[in-house]
Amino acid sequence: MPRAWCWGPAVCGLLWSTAAVAQEDSERAASPDSLNAVVVTATRIDAPGFDVPASIDRLEGDEIRANRAQVNISESLAGVPGLQARDRQNYAQDVQLSLRGFGARSTFGIRGVRVYVDGIPATLPDGQGQISHVSLGSVGHMEVLRGPFSALYGNSSGGVIQIFTEEGSGPPRLRFDAAAGSDGMSRIGAVASGERNGIGYVVEASRFRTDGYREHSATERGLANAKLTVRPDDDSKLTLVASHMSLPRAQDPLGLSRAQFEANPRGVDPAAINFDTRKTVEQTQAGVTYERRIDSANAFALTTYAGTRSTTQFQSIPVATQGSSLHPGGVIALDRDYLGADFRLTHQTQLLDAPLTIVAGLAYDGLKEHRQGFLNYTGSAADPVLGELGAQRRNERNDVSNADQYLQGTWQLTPKLSLNAGLRHSKVRFDSRDNYVVGTNPDDSGKVDYSAYLPVFGALYALTPDLHVYASAGRGFETPTLNELAYRPAGGTGLNFALGASSSTSVEVGLKSRSPIWGEATIAVFQTNTQNEIVTQTNSGGRTTYQNAGATRRTGFELGWNKRFPHDWQVQLAYTMLNARYRDAFATCAATPCTVPTAVIPAGNHIPGLARNTLVAAVNWAPARGWRAGAEMRYIGRVFVNDANTDAASGYTVMAATVGYFTRLGPWTLNGFVRVDNLFARKYAGSVIVNEGNGRYFEPAPGRTWLAGLSATLEF
């Protein structure tokens, strides 16, 4: 193996040994010890993940829930290479997710990474997503797609996370879950599933609450979801899903400055208390998918969905700042109605006597947003009553839609060589109608369109049946979100229609190995070059404005390995090296007021919000019955907090340990556990708020915490 492909002796040694073992395995006939093929669907063509020329991981539902609170998706994603998932300890802002450096700049919610739940986008047409409505108690499996093939999902697809609820089958089952832990945390849930008269069903409800690790961080959340599957005949399947999420009050502790973090990581800035920063959310959605096999060569699938989400957020914007006649106020109220459809046709044929599968599809997603702004106080500016909904300062209707067409195919050219290719055309339209034209506040109505062609290509070659090498390349793009368009620079009103979309070109080379002796290993080397990167221009007074900078580059290396050993032992390892930097210098605002950016961010600075190195290692002992135990280590490297790279959250290593007991008593299955996180009480910032205008970058992680849980399943 050429030295240029090696990242140190350890990695080279692993590559050589993996290749050698795979060669030995290929010389043997397939044995009873052969590893099972895990089918993935993220590329829209069902195939074993081992045979797909892309970095893709599949996590099973039991793995996601094992010894965990089942509250945040970040609990189970740490072991996926290339993915940085951070629990912010702030349920007013959702989990932070980034894949290969995409999504890091999001100050709340998820952007740059597309998320789907049972085929329904949790990412809206503008590229902004939320995942707080996902209930982990009934998840069947989850797939994480990284690299160039993510572009086949259109706008803001730096990566794709697909979540699938389990399907009801077999006799009725009823499962109860309960968990309690540090800082007043509790969760209770129930899942009923089974099949009756040909209808499979899964119904789940759960309630979570916590006082929070920090002051002013209490929250309560309720989730409910249902999934029905019907097979009218042998050639068709109908799936109906519905969900509801209620977040009646989530306190927002905001971030801390460096001095505040060092002095008291459990505290909050006084502004959070004074303005009673908080958030409320209600979301309801439903969808239906109809799949039909037309004949032996053709099939189609149609997914339609609709939903509504209402959000009210109180911010800590100074009264004097809110007092400007052009300021939208310190309370954001969003009412969003969304719907969409995706139709795809699958055709299987032959080309040059080799199997060819073609998928063609049309996708449409629409969003109607009613955005309002209000003062976060009542009374006068001289004698305000803070934390109360005040006078209206903004009122607009925003429509966003995307209309996409895609075509992709997989060609098994030879028994060892397969080719994958795809092309997607994506058009995203923003249309804003300003209904708040008062005094000096003008009519800011307007519209803007973005479009792009997104090609991808990949090839996979089977060196042996158990050692595959692949390469892929693709082009993606990312439009601004409504939140990034929401404010104009220099204090202007209305949407920032001058902000353009960014484009990216990605390449990846990877190796996949499996062996009954050495386990499963994946290695990937990748590079993404982005033009017209969207970056922060100003951040003050609760308003963040954005601009297009020059080029950026994200280069990285990923390693994933897991192995099952005799006597019920399993070891898992995930390592990521990511070097994400600005390639061009650009100017930003370092002080307020600022009408012209003058602070230069030099080329070579790190893109903030990303750790250069992450490592997760886990060891578990899980017999079929009786006692169980496990340990986990996480290392996260230093994370810069701003474009200027003037401060950073220090790297850290934390440990967790679990012990549990699993047994069956007649029709009952019982599973209990106790978990301790941050075993050695390490003080660290679990996440950062990138480019926070007040310098409150740091979101502290809890010290040593405990969690106890019990699950009981009754099979009828």
The answer to whether the CB of 187 falls within 8 A of the CB of 179 is yes
- Over 70: is that where the pLDDT of 180 sits? yes
**Tens of pLDDT, residues 601-626:** 999 999 999 999 999 999 999 999 99
The pLDDT > 70 percentage for the chain reads 93
For position 491, what pLDDT does the model report?
67
Which band of pLDDT confidence, cut at 50, 70 and 90, is reported for residue 46? confident
Query: What are the structural domains, with CATH classification, of the chain?
Result: 8-715 (2.40.170.20)
pLDDT band at 482 (very low <50, low <70, confident <90, very high): confident
Q: What is the DSSP letter of 44?
A: S
pLDDT digits (tens, 9 = 90+) for 555-602: 999 999 999 999 999 999 999 999 999 999 999 887 666 777 888 999
Mean pLDDT for 283-297 is: 96
Phi (first) and psi of residue 258, to 5 degrees: -55, -45
pLDDT digits (tens, 9 = 90+) for 117-157: 999 999 999 988 888 888 899 999 999 999 999 988 998 87
Model pLDDT for residues 319-370, shown as the tens digit of each residue? 998 988 888 899 999 999 999 999 999 999 999 999 999 999 999 999 999 9
What integer is the mean pLDDT of 232-257? 95
Query: What pLDDT was estimated at residue 112?
Result: 86
CA separation for the pair 699, 533 (Å, rounded): 26
The continuous run of DSSP H or E covering 287 comes out as: strand 278-293
Percent of the chain with pLDDT over 90: 74
Instruction: Say if residue 73 is exposed, middle or buried (CB neighbours under 10 Å; 0-12, 13-18, 19+).
Output: buried
For residue 541, the model assigns a pLDDT of: 58
Q: How confident is the model at residue 93 (pLDDT cuts 50, 70, 90)?
A: confident
pLDDT digits (tens, 9 = 90+) for 217-244: 999 999 999 999 999 999 999 999 999 9
Q: What is the pLDDT of residue 30?
A: 35
User: Does position 456 have pLDDT exceeding 80, yes or no?
Assistant: yes
Question: Quick check: 489 pLDDT over 90?
Answer: no
CA-based nearest residue to 700, from 362, 348, 266, 104: 266
Residue 498 Cα distances to 112, 234, 547, 552, 559, angstroms: 20, 53, 8, 20, 40
Check whether 432 has a pLDDT greater than 80.
Answer: yes
Q: What is the pTM of this model?
A: 0.90
